[in-house]
Structure 1
């Protein structure tokens, strides 16, 4: 398949998914990002957030092809994001110098544009203390080391760098799930209300928890719990178009569509994000199979 045909196929899937969400999709905005990061050698994930304050966009996570060495520099060169002298602009290169990175992924919104780079290193898990010592890492990582240790969050498999919001996410794999009392303790320590019983029971099957931190504050801005899609819990708490999206997006592999649901908590409240895999990368499939089988 030619590069142009491949990009066209992915763009058609994006348009279809955006229609399910009633989100406007502009070829003029999306096409430059797709062509900059083609060919699509690995995973592609569609995702969306529920709730008035968080909805209104369709997000794409795309594995960066081997031809692109530094996805942040590549995004700058292609005019997808503006440069900055903030530490967020050097974190990717600092991570690459300290970790054995297995793959990179990018995240962009069809409305909002280029957002993030994911640095994925599941074969070389990093401890919080080592990550805290990386020069451009937010000081909040070190300042919350005791919180992570107290709740059994020891090893990090992936870091997301959000260039628009100037935050970073630390992703902790939990192949055995998480105990309800641990979730309650985490939320209590962060000054957040305890969830209702149905959500709390659902969160037990979390395979990844991630914390959002920034450079301007020592606090954990958001805590999120990801699991395979729990449609009954999600359906009762989101707009109809979110359920329509997560059960109707196109996908390219045999068998049933694989989707996830994420519950997020911050001082602003609780909300849900859902994701649907359009295409798997080999490493993503390997990691998920270890967790879900």
Structure 2
């Protein structure tokens, strides 16, 4: 098991990573989330978005300790999310009844606060059909099943529930990557401009693709393709502070820093997200070890 670290150690690393972006964390916001989800037994990932309208904060993804069996109930009890009658509030409970969950992670912004819970089940990937049958799942998943099947998006290894935006991301897994034609075809089917050749080639090494779905419309709001960091492609397309961030964040393991780059498309345009691993959890090492680099 990964050795645990304390709140102040993590907070110091957050300040260092945030400084690379020119972001000043809210101490009360950050410490309230960290204290709610300590001890830190596994993975911690820093991430940031590039481009006008997307930048300006630092996100953290943190593995939930095993002692917290229901992270949504825990977040409610800690005052991190408001109570609501919206189906987003029951989705985690419905998933827990139907999936063998390997681990949970949370996501929060150092200014904006708590926003997501990730339900990770890579050892028992779920089909679109099975997930669409979950009672509180957005109908948009079933409505887009034919599109997903047409492009071979059929194995979901993780689901992200965004309690702030009230959206869901199914993370389709591709241990062997995708073809450039598949990437282009998916983006085109969503009615978005074709990616340029360089981006389509880079996205061939995608290990997870994730659309964004909501409860109010069948429309896929956006889609992202995640791969090991492709710095030559990213460097020329993002702000200098994003490159400084993804190549300079602190990390705690031996060897080189592991980072990812994510290209996202939506009707509003294209942008990038980048992430760097501060710590690995055992399952994350297992999953990333299977990625085709």
TM-score range, shorter chain: over 0.9
Give the 5 Å matches for 1:86-165. 86-165=86-165
Per the alignment, residue 71 of structure 1 pairs with: 71
Output the aligned Cα RMSD.
1.1
Counterpart in the other structure of 1:82: 82
Q: Report the secondary structure of 1:191's partner residue.
A: coil
Match of 1:203 in 2: 203
Match of 1:214 in 2: 214
Provide structure 1 residue ranges, at least 5 long, that are not aligned to the other structure.
Answer: none
Give the Cα separation in 2 of the matches to 1:228 and 1:291: 8
Deviation, structure 1 residue 292:
3.8
Distance 2:235 2:283 in 1: 30
- What residue in structure 2 maps to residue 21 of structure 1? 21
Please give the alpha-carbon distance, in whole angstroms, between the structure 1 residues aligned to 2:154 and 2:201.
23
Deviation (angstroms), 1:81: 1.3
Give the whole-Å Cα distance in 1 for the aligned partners of 2:174 and 2:117: 22
SS in 1 for 2:152: coil
List per-residue Cα deviations over 1:94-124 (Å, max 9, x = no partner): 0000100000000000011000000000111
| Post-superposition CA distance 1:43-69 (Å, at most 9, x none) | 000000001110011000000001111
Q: Which runs of 5+ in 2 are unaligned?
A: none
Does 2:182 align with 1:177?
no
The alpha carbon displacement at 1:32 in A equals 1.0
Partner of 1:234: 234
User: Are 1:48 and 2:37 an aligned pair?
Assistant: no
Question: Structure 2 CA distance, aligned partners of 1:88 and 1:33?
Answer: 20
Residue 108 of structure 2 contacts residue 114 of structure 2 at CA under 8 Å; is this kept in 1?
yes
- The runs of at least 4 aligned residues of structure 1 exceeding 2 Å deviation read none
